[in-house]
Structure 1
Amino acid sequence: MRLRFSEQILQINSCILFLFLFTTTSIVAQNDIIDPQPVISVLKQAEKDFNISFSYNRRDLKKIRCQIPDTTNLEALLESISANCAVQFFRIDERYIAVTVGDSRLISICGTLIETTSGAPLSGASIIGNGFQSGSGRGGQFTISGISEDATLFIYHLGFKVKEIVAGELNSENGCPQVFIDQRFNYLPAVLLNSYLTKGIYKHTEGSVSISNRNYEILPSLIEADVLKIAQILPGIESFNETASNINIRGGKSDEVLLLWDNIRMYQSGHFFGLISAFNPNLTQNVTIYKGGTHPQYGESVSGVISMKSDSDIPEQVTGAASLDFISTQFYAKIPASERFAFHLSGRTSINTGLGNPVYNQFFKRVFQNTVVTNFQTNTSLGLRSTDEAFNFYDINGKAIWQLTDRDKIQYNFLTIFNKLNFTERFTGETTLSKNVSELKQQTLVHGVNWDRDWTAEFSTQISYSFSDYVNNGGNQNIDTGQLQSQRNDINENQLRAALNYSLNSDISLSLGYQRTETEIINESSPFEINQIFISEKQLTSDAFYANSKLDFFQNKTTVSAGLRYTSYSELEEQFLEPRLSVSHKLTSNMSINTTYEQKHQSIAQSIDIDNSLLGIENQRWIILGSSNQPILESSQLTLGTTYSKNDWSLGLEGFYKEVEGLNLMNQGFRNQLADVDAIGEYSVKGVEFSISKQTDRLNAWLSYTYMNNEFNFSELEPSAFRSNYDINHVLSLAASYSWKSFLFSLGTTYHSGIPYTTPVEGNAIVQQGNQALINFNTPNNATLKDFFRTDFSASYTLQLDETFTGKLSVGMVNIFNRKNALDSYYVLDEDDEGNTILNRVEQFSLGFTPNVSLKLLF
């Protein structure tokens, strides 16, 4: 019995010991397991512990939690995460590791882009996917490491999407395949110079230049990639009044340039009276510029065309940015609602009111100098003058994109631009008190809808309708007397467009189109002296047809683009048939020659009335041409040039001759003896444009030079020929940009000859005509202002804050040497304190030193 009892005790003790050991082992084992935790937190800690960097999409990992052992071995940690969390790792190099979720493998891919028509490598293309971006080199090659084999790659060239492909098809384990890009089915122009002047700018065989925001980096003075400012680095394109929106092409007025936003004509394009562009650069994907050889789809311009296209892609995920600088705050967002539907939104508003920041002060001083707003005669012997002003602006841009089917895409566009100036003037005398309240508003509202259909790979059609409304409205009221002065310029325009494109084969493509435009322009004015409103209302309806063919000969060495445009105006009973031609021929693999010829006309232009301006600021009104004293403008232009590129060097040389007929002298803005003369004439301009650029991985440097001889000819006047208001003989631009790690720097200098102006006769400046004193002027535009010289600088720093957000700090400095550049000069008669007539010279000057800083958060 005792033995049996001992055996039982032993068995019990053994069980207790076993249970103790099992429990202890379990406890020890459990102590080695950490509670489920976020994978992102583990990866961030691993980056610190092992001095490595993970690349992943935060949205894919943010919901994943799992048990992960506490280990000091990196490989064991990664293996455990892969086993427990279905997360895959791919080591790109010793420090960088790519991360993906699910069963999809991470692979390395490579390939060579080949243009099917020429068989040549396609360089300068962008390969973009979810969370990564790469590009093709000079030989068309590209490589990307650590991406999911299921990832979709989007290939862009010249800002256009040209192909989609799955990454697994390019697995480097199977070699580096050739990827063929058939650009003729995307109706893209052939490139004559890749990266013309600087990255993101391309020159095409038919004479146009395109700017792609996807590849553009930086420009001196800019804190944003403003396409209207970028356009001004091209030879032959300037802004002689130093604004973003008032662009002069080859000696023409700014209203002679057709400015389009998603095929809608814009009658207002800037804020702060042109100093700031009104178009959000983040949503402007591609810009096409014609100085000559204009495609026949474009009318209404005797000098040039700038056509802006907003982004029309449906993004895979939400992207956007918000930024703040000394002038405005802005945002944009691209939001996919589904795989086939997306919204693009952007907005900007001024923040200057009440802040008194230095940029706003410089802008205000530049715009309102020598006007009643900033009149230096604030105090006189008769009393005290005081003023209050408030200026603000905003723009809102919206776009909806619906990929209805694989062949059909519908887009809706919305844009509104608004500027408003309130100005109050008080005058206090010994016995009198007066108050004037003035208001000036500019507003644009546009809508547009587009339907694009690809019937086959060779045939596509586009149908669009747009409506735009532009209002320039101003009023000035004397509160004490009730007298009111008002001005209004109102434009309502509807347009219907239809186009088709067809590629017969690799050498021949055709495009046909029809455009119907209905425009109504109302001008109202009510002067102080007369209690009456004068109204001028005109309508204009045009029907335009165009056809264009593009032909390639001699194994694509010669490209001919030829077309016709026919326009009929029912109200005016006038028709225009205009040929357009562009020919390019490759002499060698590095050198080409090209020539263009075009005839164009313009039925809507701006009238300048110096004496009828509100606050001395806005004196331009859009009007419909076609009467005997306001004929339709007509132009013809011929160009001949050559290009050469080799070893990252690019050179361009082009000569041009342009004639524009139908000018009304009163629309040219003269402030001399011709200010009130009604005469019809023409201007002719001949010149040469030269450019040279050098590009490396880090450095872009360029120089452009333009020589012009620009002359008016009015047969009714004496003398009949004299210098144009834009006869700027020499224009030189020199700039360079440099990238280093996350920094970008750019420094540039702009020089041009002085602008012509008219001086009084020395020793006999004032003459008496009856009871009226007049200025006795010399021949028109007999003198020249001092040369314009300005140096600008900009820099930016980009910092990856986390997997979602990126920060960007940008600094721009305009006129860093604070040089005082004269933009205009004219003479006026005034009275001194004793009532005697005296002569005063008035000068307009450019911006002084103007620094600006931008903080941007991208996501």
Structure 2
Amino acid sequence: VTKPDEDLNLQQTLEVLATSGSLQFTQIKDRYIAVQIKEVIKISACGILIDTESSYPIENAEIVTKDKTVTTDSGGNFKFDAVGEHEIATIFVNGFFVRSIQIQELTQTSRCPFIYVSQAYTYLPEVVLTDFITKGISKNVQGATTISNKNFDILPSLIEPDVLQIAQALPGIDSADETAANLNVRGGTSDEFLILWDNIRMYQTGHFFGLISAFNPNLTKNVTIYKNGTNPRYGEGVSGVITLESNNTIPEEFQGGVGINLTSANGYGEIPVSETFLLTLSGRTAINTGIGNPVYNEFFNKVFQNTVVTNLQNNSIEGVRSTDESFNFFDVSVKALWKITPDDEVSYQFLHIDNKLQFTELFIAPEDSSVLESELEQQNTSNGFSWQRNWGATLPVISNVLVYQSNYNRNEFTNNVDLDLLASNQNQVIEKGLKTDVSYTLNNQATITAGYQYTDTEIVDAATNSNSATIESEKKSLFSNAFFAGSALSLFNETTSISAGLRFTQYPTLSTNFIEPRLHIDQKLNKQWHLTLSGELKHQGIYQTVNIRNNLLGVETRDWLLAGTANNQFLKSKQISTGVTYSKNNWILATEFFLKTVQGINTANLGFRNQLQDTNFNGEYHVKGTEVSLNKKLKNTNIWASYTYQDNTYTFPEIEPKTFRNNLDSNHSVTLAGSYDYKNFSFSLGNTFKTGLPYTTPLAGNSIITTNGVPVINYNTPNNKTLPSYFRTDFSASYNVKLDETFNGKINLAVLNVFNKHNALNRYYILEDIGGTPTIQRVDEFSLGLTPNISLQLLF
């Protein structure tokens, strides 16, 4: 019962009490009031709980009213008998609140309505592991790892629940260049990892050259990750898939927040315009003007180490040199969700990501002066319309349609003002697509899904040079038709779960087809033990090449390209894995063994800094490995450890030797971390150890040779040496405070690389002319040093 305001008169007070409670008040005289229990109209109500992302029914969810609790069966069905028509039903999945609904809404149609829930960790009737590694991460019987951002616990080094950085806590997922956005899954390059935002492919995923995720953590509600046995609805991504989902439920009241940290300021709002319409807005912009900003300084030094920017002082010409640089980024997202009818839901989603780097060098000497201007801008704009419909309880079918467009543009140019020389280059991706699927629930043990996907991708590469008066432009396009079908089966009293499917992709202009089976089996031995088996075939027609020579200020950039030529073949992968999971008494153990092969790679696209730098050889890579994780949950403490072993090798038939170590071959990786909660405080500390990556050394005793009259480095066999091992300690803490009935405050502190370890991430050699003599110089690229960050958030 809501306490009435003390300023109300007697009649107004009685009305408030009657509205908020179950009593009825009748004033007989000034001093006498009759109190009666209201006659509550009791009705029957029912519904079917459905996962929005997968269209599967959700089992064992709890629906709670004032004095009743019911549980959904394996078909997602639930029913109330004799419940008040004005009551509110609250839905919990795996103990977590997901949404509320009025009982009246369950009786507006002649059949039991479908109730949609956006909780990625409830894809199928059973979740194998909850709180896997930490709170908010789960593994389900479909083979996917899911992350609920709303319920996520603290992790070392994070001041916000950044989903791309959270993914790096999972065994087998890493970032070789220590960025948030460039993820390497089971030895694959970052472009082999498909990233989808509300089912739209993203071609830019990071700010500040990948050091910051481009996805606002405030609006990413649920995340699903596949490393193998991928759902057949997903194409591309030969190394894995991650799907990011924004909010698909309408809150009863406005929700939002504002925040600031040492890299950005942000704000968001979820505005329930009505009971059937939701408008979601968010924005974030860079902060880099703070005096002595430690995060910006560390980021800047890492990105521009060994480049023109940080090496200007090496110029021997006498004169006065000054530089000015600025880096800015922002992202904006809008989503409109409209539940037209109880069975129809349409939405529009928009996301714009923008990065801009400007660098100006002014040089003044007694006999010379120059002004050099450089600029790099990256943009990604995505928008889409989607429609979801359920076709009724008598016809348990759910259909989805998405029409979208995703544009990526990278422009960079340099302008020598004095010499009037301008050079520029551009890489642009324009993708349009249609995705549609239908899911049919045969019974409580079987669901069938089928769909179609049309994709039209165009890539434009352009370059200009005013010195040679040349303008080069190349436009290529690739379109495909894809059909897929899959099923989810629960057999033998729900002890065996099978997710199987087939995807057929056709490229009409290339007369090329791919047939790709997908499979994941989860066998429940008892309450504690599960066995898993996964396998898949996949291909990828859009991937990246690394720019080493034609880049801005020496900063490495990457261009998207299309497959379909002799040098740029389709990537084709095949993978199989098997695993065991154990869960009992808050102990969780998970192991998995995998074999993966990716064919169609080319040396020109892999960023070699040795004798293979300017070559075009086709080949493949092979990875075999083991992933192990162990965690124990206590009352206020969670401790976890993970270990990954990988043996990752290239095979190029035209190179001698034909087989050598992969650029991403880090054999051993160990993480030990823990978190502790005390009242409104949370703390987390973690350590990461990894063996170093390979690199190539000059041949001792004959390190420089002359080819066509030009001195060059004479190298050993590729990747013959290993960098020193990598070790990093991270810390984070948070404090939550309730300011009043409306506002909550949150303070987060994070320290990355507590001991300021100088970890080498890459090593290569260059040839310089010193005093007329060719001399080999070693170049090392290091990780971030000690990087503290703090954030303040106001939530309402």
TM-score (normalizing by structure 2)? 0.88
- 1:568 aligns with 506
Partners in 1 of 2:257 and 2:89 — Cα distance?
24
Asked if the contact 2:90/2:97 (under 8 Å) is kept, the reply is no
**Pair 1:301 & 2:301 matched:** no
Structure 1 residues not aligned, in runs of 5+: 1-54, 69-79, 91-101, 107-113, 137-146, 170-178
**In structure 2, what residue type is equivalent to 1:454?**
N
Structure 2 residues not aligned, in runs of 5+: 22-35, 41-47, 51-57, 73-83, 107-114
Partners in 1 of 2:64 and 2:464 — Cα distance?
57
Asked if the contact 2:736/2:744 (under 8 Å) is kept, the reply is yes
Q: Using the aligned pairs only, state the percent identity.
A: 47
Partners in 2 of 1:614 and 1:185 — Cα distance?
42
**Aligned residue among 2, 5, 8 for 1:66:** 8
Residues paired across the two proteins, number: 744
**Pair 1:850 & 2:787 matched:** yes
Asked if the contact 1:155/1:164 (under 8 Å) is kept, the reply is no
The alpha-carbon deviation at position 579 of structure 1 amounts to: 0.6
- 1:734 aligns with 672
Q: CA 1:659 to 1:444, structure 2 compared with 1: closer, same or farther past 3 Å?
A: same
Asked if the contact 2:123/2:142 (under 8 Å) is kept, the reply is no
- 2:756 aligns with 818
- 1:248 aligns with 184
- 2:151 aligns with 215
Partners in 1 of 2:458 and 2:751 — Cα distance?
42
**In structure 1, what residue type is equivalent to 2:374?**
S
Give per-residue Cα distances to partners, 1:703-750, cap 9 Å, x unaligned.
111000000000001111000000010011111111111111111111
**Aligned residue among 92, 96, 113 for 1:155:** 92
Partners in 2 of 1:608 and 1:277 — Cα distance?
20
Partners in 1 of 2:296 and 2:121 — Cα distance?
48
Give per-residue Cα distances to partners, 1:515-548, cap 9 Å, x unaligned.
0001110011235763212111101110000000
Partners in 1 of 2:637 and 2:328 — Cα distance?
39
Partners in 1 of 2:603 and 2:758 — Cα distance?
30
- 2:421 aligns with 483
Written as runs of structure 1 = structure 2, the 5 A alignment for 1:522-533 is 522-527=460-465, 530-533=468-471
The worse-fitting range, judged by mean Cα deviation, of 426-435 and 674-683 is 426-435
**Aligned residue among 253, 259, 263 for 1:317:** 253
* Equivalent position SS for 1:600: strand
Q: CA 1:827 to 1:61, structure 2 compared with 1: closer, same or farther past 3 Å?
A: farther
* Equivalent position SS for 1:65: coil
Q: CA 1:655 to 1:115, structure 2 compared with 1: closer, same or farther past 3 Å?
A: farther
Partners in 2 of 1:423 and 1:354 — Cα distance?
18
Partners in 2 of 1:685 and 1:661 — Cα distance?
12
Partners in 2 of 1:217 and 1:105 — Cα distance?
45
The alpha-carbon deviation at position 581 of structure 1 amounts to: 0.9
**Pair 1:434 & 2:370 matched:** yes
Written as runs of structure 1 = structure 2, the 5 A alignment for 1:719-798 is 719-798=657-736
Q: CA 1:302 to 1:693, structure 2 compared with 1: closer, same or farther past 3 Å?
A: same
**In structure 2, what residue type is equivalent to 1:239?**
S
**In structure 1, what residue type is equivalent to 2:643?**
Y
Give per-residue Cα distances to partners, 1:140-164, cap 9 Å, x unaligned.
xxxxxxx998334233459895884
**Aligned residue among 552, 556, 559 for 2:494:** 556
Partners in 1 of 2:465 and 2:578 — Cα distance?
50
**Pair 1:639 & 2:577 matched:** yes
Asked if the contact 1:567/1:575 (under 8 Å) is kept, the reply is yes
**In structure 2, what residue type is equivalent to 1:219?**
L
**Pair 1:235 & 2:171 matched:** yes
**Pair 1:519 & 2:450 matched:** no
- 1:470 aligns with 408
Written as runs of structure 1 = structure 2, the 5 A alignment for 1:126-275 is 150-157=87-94, 161=98, 164=101, 188=124, 190-275=126-211
Partners in 1 of 2:354 and 2:95 — Cα distance?
32
Asked if the contact 2:118/2:247 (under 8 Å) is kept, the reply is no
**In structure 1, what residue type is equivalent to 2:323?**
T
Asked if the contact 2:120/2:147 (under 8 Å) is kept, the reply is no
**Aligned residue among 671, 674, 690 for 2:612:** 674
The alpha-carbon deviation at position 196 of structure 1 amounts to: 1.3
**Pair 1:86 & 2:17 matched:** yes
Partners in 1 of 2:200 and 2:365 — Cα distance?
52
**In structure 1, what residue type is equivalent to 2:192?**
E
Q: CA 1:61 to 1:608, structure 2 compared with 1: closer, same or farther past 3 Å?
A: farther
TM-score (normalizing by structure 1)? 0.82
**In structure 1, what residue type is equivalent to 2:729?**
T
**Aligned residue among 483, 506, 522 for 1:584:** 522
**In structure 1, what residue type is equivalent to 2:390?**
D
**In structure 1, what residue type is equivalent to 2:361?**
E
* Equivalent position SS for 1:377: helix
Q: CA 1:104 to 1:760, structure 2 compared with 1: closer, same or farther past 3 Å?
A: farther
* Equivalent position SS for 1:571: helix
- 2:544 aligns with 606
The worse-fitting range, judged by mean Cα deviation, of 348-357 and 582-591 is 348-357
Answer 1 or 2: which has greater strand percent.
2
Answer 1 or 2: which has greater helix percent.
1
The alpha-carbon deviation at position 352 of structure 1 amounts to: 0.9
* Equivalent position SS for 2:238: coil
Asked if the contact 1:753/1:788 (under 8 Å) is kept, the reply is yes
The alpha-carbon deviation at position 619 of structure 1 amounts to: 2.6
* Equivalent position SS for 1:374: coil
Partners in 2 of 1:235 and 1:568 — Cα distance?
34
Asked if the contact 2:546/2:556 (under 8 Å) is kept, the reply is no
**Aligned residue among 263, 269, 276 for 1:340:** 276
The alpha-carbon deviation at position 616 of structure 1 amounts to: 1.5
Give per-residue Cα distances to partners, 1:792-824, cap 9 Å, x unaligned.
111111111110001111101111111111111
**Pair 1:703 & 2:641 matched:** yes
**In structure 1, what residue type is equivalent to 2:265?**
T
- 2:32 aligns with none
Asked if the contact 2:238/2:538 (under 8 Å) is kept, the reply is yes
**Aligned residue among 209, 222, 227 for 1:291:** 227
Work out which of the two has the higher radius of gyration on C-alpha atoms and give 1 or 2: 1
* Equivalent position SS for 2:209: helix
**In structure 1, what residue type is equivalent to 2:338?**
W
Q: CA 1:148 to 1:703, structure 2 compared with 1: closer, same or farther past 3 Å?
A: farther
**Aligned residue among 459, 467, 477 for 1:539:** 477
- 1:836 aligns with 773
**Aligned residue among 235, 258, 266 for 1:330:** 266
**In structure 1, what residue type is equivalent to 2:544?**
Q
**Pair 1:405 & 2:341 matched:** yes
- 2:656 aligns with 718
**Aligned residue among 583, 587, 592 for 1:654:** 592
* Equivalent position SS for 2:301: helix
Partners in 1 of 2:791 and 2:85 — Cα distance?
36
Give per-residue Cα distances to partners, 1:574-600, cap 9 Å, x unaligned.
000011111111112110101011000
Asked if the contact 2:99/2:249 (under 8 Å) is kept, the reply is no
**Aligned residue among 790, 793, 799 for 2:737:** 799
* Equivalent position SS for 1:255: helix
Partners in 2 of 1:375 and 1:148 — Cα distance?
73
* Equivalent position SS for 1:230: helix
Q: CA 1:773 to 1:160, structure 2 compared with 1: closer, same or farther past 3 Å?
A: farther
**In structure 2, what residue type is equivalent to 1:739?**
D
Partners in 2 of 1:274 and 1:663 — Cα distance?
23
Asked if the contact 1:156/1:162 (under 8 Å) is kept, the reply is no
**Aligned residue among 312, 316, 323 for 1:380:** 316
**Pair 1:371 & 2:307 matched:** yes
| RMSD after superposition | 3.2
Partners in 1 of 2:182 and 2:531 — Cα distance?
31
